[in-house]
Structure 1
């Protein structure tokens, strides 16, 4: 597919990372969200299917890492960074006013990500250390590209978002070091999940009330979400402190107290955004629902610190409930908005949202009800696969085609 775009931006020869919409080549590499949402959605389905096959039928996957560690790694450092890359490579140009990275530089980024997936699928082929070395290249590469754009655009306030990629890079390295060294403390897992959750609280605090206000205004409402103020800053700091405590001391009583306080503050924050008024538009409902799982996760951290539930239940409340739900929400919204579609949820999209929420509820429940563990794990995995299969089925063609204008014509 070699459709051309109308935009063209000449670039100085000294520029290290060419920028601007690609004018030739596959349309899928014209904008960051296209290949990474498509690849991430495909990998979400494939990796989960392989994990279920490994559990149910003993299919070997992950080589020396073992299926369980491979599954954890590919969810936290395979699928999720791809969606984050698609979002950041689309959002950063909007934040900085600079043109996006596309064409060959984007192809290189995608190739680095894909190489990591292949290396981790069977690390024994090249050795665990070499497979880890291939895998850890992607996040620093993405960090370099995004940081360069933020600095060049002098959007210093956005460095806190981009800096999360540094934390994720460190978490990925620590994950490999722990698995190869037979350390099962879970520190890297908690660190990665905490980084994603903080991104949701920071970026979600921007977009959820903004999108909600815009929709309410168009719908004729006169009561809107409370604007960002000092309370939001307090909630963010409380969440950061609670997550740091969880990463460092997941079973300490102080962690339970801090997480409870943070959960209450974020519950109030979410209520201030008036999510219950958005029920007619599921593109908004899923954003509020995903943020609600941040709150459930914080209370889960408190219960885990008190020994009521185990760490795996907490991890999945946050990773599936908050992170994956928010990502599938943004994948749909960004895809529709940037390909010229109407910003409203179709019946298929609504079913995919229901599926990911069911997966988010069933997966931690498996750790609470061990007698139904295998059944609940399988059901959660199947609902996960359904959610991302529906995304690929519906939005995949949008990602592979030229943007339409408001009249539905190619543009």
Structure 2
């Protein structure tokens, strides 16, 4: 049981389930699970700490052994984490009902506080336990790596565990916990930058190699030097990446400490500028416009535009901050997770990258969902209709992913490879001349 298999499957299914429930609430007034803070907290929490954290778990449980040249995690480790994640979902969804039952027995103002603890404490313990257990599983391997090149994942997971803990502590104290979801969003954006820099190296190099192969005459035997001169190279440069991560982190801290302040507006513009600067690494010519390279490139555009709109909103522009927030949460997070499911999920399941049209349709649906939801934050726009259309577009994207990828996550490898290693092309295919 490779870590990506159950968690990537749960990621796709949860994305559909949560947004189906949310669409039913927005369009038809259907009831959502009763939780502290109300429906909007449930929706934001489940997308960030349910959907988002499941995708992160699947990625790090698969990537960290590869990055650190260590064995795959044992199935029992993965199973425990899966059960913790599922139990946390159930406990959170039932927390409001449990609190209501306890309050009916206890009564009074003091009884409300006790009932809140009775209802929510199981969810808090399970979800904090999941975040901490995930960190404990991967941190020793990251720290023991001689070069310690991938500690960004360790710090990101630690910050996410802190956001999860902060959310539940606010609930237990009777405070509105949405600020911690926004902290989690900022942490997720840093993890997106860290993860995309690893994935992009492989994707962009493959795209450039394919472009070089198309340019070279078939009879040439030694032509690598000539090819290198014809096409630029791609490097995910640490200074640009680290600047973007630092700018996003500073903006996240400022939003927590100074919510709504114009200072956060300027910092949002700074984060957008840092991500736009990061895009300069990608400008390598036509190779950028291949399917997988452009998919990852679009993630950074949505990331930059999200912080741009957040900055402008805090500085007085006539738009709601939710426009920028949803470009980040739906656009940058959603599209990056789709890319991870399609690239890391398929290759580690023993399949080549999928070139069928559904991938493009799913990616366009996520971008459309982000743009529609962002447009709902603009003045004089039909917000309810745009939110419903955005919900439908998101459901379409991840229903396609669950349909096309889900069967691969529960099936045996067919490429002759072993365990969780990447796809191995069959020998016959390797012997065919280009």
Using structure 2 for the length normalisation, give the TM-score. 0.81
Q: Which residue in 2 is equivalent to 1:109? A: 81
Matched, 1:228 2:237: yes
- Relative to structure 1, the CA distance from residue 284 to residue 343 in structure 2 (aligned partners, 3 Å threshold; closer, same or farther) is same
* 1:227, distance to aligned residue in structure 2 (A): 5.0
Note the 1:241-280 alignment, pairs <5 A.
241-274=250-283, 277-278=286-287
Which residue of 374, 377, 387 corresponds with 1:377? Answer: 387
* 1:233, distance to aligned residue in structure 2 (A): 3.5
Q: Which residue in 2 is equivalent to 1:61? A: 32
Q: Which residue in 1 is equivalent to 2:158? A: 166
Residue-by-residue CA offset, 1:380-401 (whole Å, 9 max, x unaligned): 1111111000001001111111
- Relative to structure 1, the CA distance from residue 150 to residue 51 in structure 2 (aligned partners, 3 Å threshold; closer, same or farther) is same
Separation in 2, partners of 1:269, 1:167: 23
Residue-by-residue CA offset, 1:124-165 (whole Å, 9 max, x unaligned): 344123233223221111111111322344453323312222
- Relative to structure 1, the CA distance from residue 239 to residue 131 in structure 2 (aligned partners, 3 Å threshold; closer, same or farther) is closer
Would you say how many aligned residue pairs link Structure 1 and Structure 2? 380
Separation in 2, partners of 1:207, 1:368: 34
In terms of mean alpha carbon deviation, does 291-300 or 170-179 score higher? 170-179
Separation in 2, partners of 1:81, 1:370: 35
Separation in 2, partners of 1:388, 1:328: 8
* 1:117, distance to aligned residue in structure 2 (A): 1.0
Separation in 2, partners of 1:177, 1:276: 49
Matched, 1:313 2:332: no
Separation in 1, partners of 2:275, 2:316: 23
Which residue of 19, 23, 33 corresponds with 2:4? Answer: 33
Residue-by-residue CA offset, 1:50-96 (whole Å, 9 max, x unaligned): 11112222322221332221111100101110000000001100111
Unmatched 5+ stretches in structure 2 = 99-118, 213-229, 416-424, 429-434
- Relative to structure 1, the CA distance from residue 227 to residue 58 in structure 2 (aligned partners, 3 Å threshold; closer, same or farther) is closer
Separation in 1, partners of 2:69, 2:316: 48
Q: Which residue in 1 is equivalent to 2:216? A: none
SS of match in other structure, 1:110: helix
- Relative to structure 1, the CA distance from residue 39 to residue 252 in structure 2 (aligned partners, 3 Å threshold; closer, same or farther) is same
- Relative to structure 1, the CA distance from residue 59 to residue 385 in structure 2 (aligned partners, 3 Å threshold; closer, same or farther) is same
Separation in 1, partners of 2:374, 2:285: 25
Residue-by-residue CA offset, 1:21-74 (whole Å, 9 max, x unaligned): xxxxxxxxx200000000111111001111111222232222133222111110
Contact 1:98-1:153 within 8 A present in 2 as well: no
* 1:180, distance to aligned residue in structure 2 (A): 4.8
Contact 1:250-1:304 within 8 A present in 2 as well: no
Note the 1:381-396 alignment, pairs <5 A.
381-396=391-406
Contact 1:246-1:301 within 8 A present in 2 as well: no
Separation in 1, partners of 2:202, 2:144: 26
Q: Which residue in 2 is equivalent to 1:339? A: 349
Which residue of 66, 78, 93 corresponds with 2:65? Answer: 93
SS of match in other structure, 2:382: helix
Q: Which residue in 1 is equivalent to 2:309? A: 300
Unmatched 5+ stretches in structure 1 = 1-29
- Relative to structure 1, the CA distance from residue 263 to residue 99 in structure 2 (aligned partners, 3 Å threshold; closer, same or farther) is same
SS of match in other structure, 2:414: coil
**Structure 1 vs Structure 2 CA RMSD:** 2.3
- Relative to structure 1, the CA distance from residue 49 to residue 217 in structure 2 (aligned partners, 3 Å threshold; closer, same or farther) is same
Q: Which residue in 1 is equivalent to 2:120? A: 128
Contact 1:139-1:168 within 8 A present in 2 as well: yes
Contact 1:96-1:155 within 8 A present in 2 as well: no
SS of match in other structure, 1:156: coil
Contact 1:283-1:344 within 8 A present in 2 as well: no
Separation in 1, partners of 2:94, 2:305: 35
- Relative to structure 1, the CA distance from residue 182 to residue 371 in structure 2 (aligned partners, 3 Å threshold; closer, same or farther) is farther
In terms of mean alpha carbon deviation, does 290-299 or 58-67 score higher? 58-67
